[in-house]
Amino acid sequence: MDIEVLLCLAHNGTHKVFRGLSSGYLVSPRGEGNTFEKMWRPLDYPKTIAQMASYKFLVSPRLGPYTQLVNYLRPACYRGLFETHITVKTDLQKDPHQIQKFKDLCTNIQVKPVLIELPNGVNPTQMMTASYSTGPIDEVLPGAYKLSQYFIKHDFDIQRTKIEAMCSTEGVPVTDQEALLLPHTNYFEFHIKVGLNPDQLAHMEQISSLCHEHNAHLSKNSFKVMLSGVEERFITLRIYKKGKANALEAFNRCVSAIQQKGYKILTTQREYSVFDSNVQLDSGWIEQTT
């Protein structure tokens, strides 16, 4: 059966209606939530909305209308190149084949699988996708939702849906004043990939101390294997409430310090997070007030 959801925005004597259609089944109550959520199982999904409570916004009949509303009210129209990350819940004790299943699903839709290992934090292991798309944000965001829904349909629990714009993307705030007008959950994120030789790996406290001086944070991609005893590490710098000009200054200072200490920089990445459904996923590694 189908359910149509209508959302009406009234302002200054005018109104605008946003519509969404959801197909699914009425089933016996499952999970915790209101009656509808416990009894509505969306088409092609293995669970009711109530059983997918932590990410129910991705499967709710309200998703379409509310996405249209957000795009209508959005204060900035981002347009350019974006990177999307879909993070899934990892429980290898429950399912030791989970990693291979995730890799196979990523191969099927031609996205890159990534397994991030953090030195600390509430969620030290984060398995996610990495993929790129171009266009305006109101086209990119629904694509990210569909990517999340793909993994839900294959029985993965979604922990985060995240979209990052490249720093050159139209709409990225340049000044601090512009940044403060945007959602407080937006932030600049810079990645510095370094190659560490065996001696540097044996003295990780040195690069850890360097990162601490610049409010940066270490991580690694466990899916990436290098030869000759060299290992990659990511140095991440996350900056809130700043425009591009000041954020890039902090990034450049960090890059210079890394080079001066003799570390080999392989690549750098400069991004601005325009949508992060669960910034608290990084608690204990990077805090939102950073």
State the residue for tokens 């009711």: 48
Per-residue pLDDT tens digits for 196-218: 999 999 999 999 999 999 999 99
Q: Is the pLDDT of residue 290 over 70?
A: no
What tens digit of pLDDT does each residue of 42-90 get?
A: 999 999 999 999 999 999 999 999 999 988 888 778 999 999 999 999 9
Domains of the chain, first to last? 2-54 (no CATH), 72-166 (3.30.70), 176-282 (3.30.70.1120)
Q: What is the DSSP string of the chain?
A: -EEEEEEEEEETTEEEEEEEEEEEEE-S--SSS-HHHHHEEETT-SS-TGGGGGGGGGTSTTHHHHHHHHHHH-S---EEEEEEEEEE---TTT-TTHHHHHHHHHHHHT-EEEEEE-SSSS--EEEEEEEEEEEEHHHHHHHHHHHHHHHHHTTPPEEEEEEEEETTSBT---SHHHHHTS-TT-EEEEEEEEEE-HHHHTTHHHHHHHHHHTT-EEEEETT---STT-EEEEEEEEE-S--HHHHHHHHHHHHHHHHHTTPEEEEEEEEEEEEETTGGGGTTTS-TT-
Q: Is 179 exposed, middle or buried (0-12, 13-18, 19+ CB in 10 A)?
A: buried
pLDDT at 226 over 90: no
- Res. 278: pLDDT tops 90: yes
pLDDT of residue 104: 98
- Does this model's pTM top 0.85? My answer is yes
Instruction: Give the separation between CA 89 and CA 103, rounded to whole angstroms.
Output: 14
pLDDT category of residue 289 using cuts at 50, 70 and 90: low
pLDDT in tens, 150-193: 999 999 999 999 999 999 999 999 999 999 999 999 999 999 99
> Taking all residues of the chain, what is their mean pLDDT, rounded to a whole number?
94
**Residue 73: its pLDDT value, please?**
87
Average pLDDT (132-150) is 96
Q: What is the pLDDT of residue 150?
A: 98
Distance CA 139, CA 149 (A): 16
At residue 269, the pLDDT reads 98
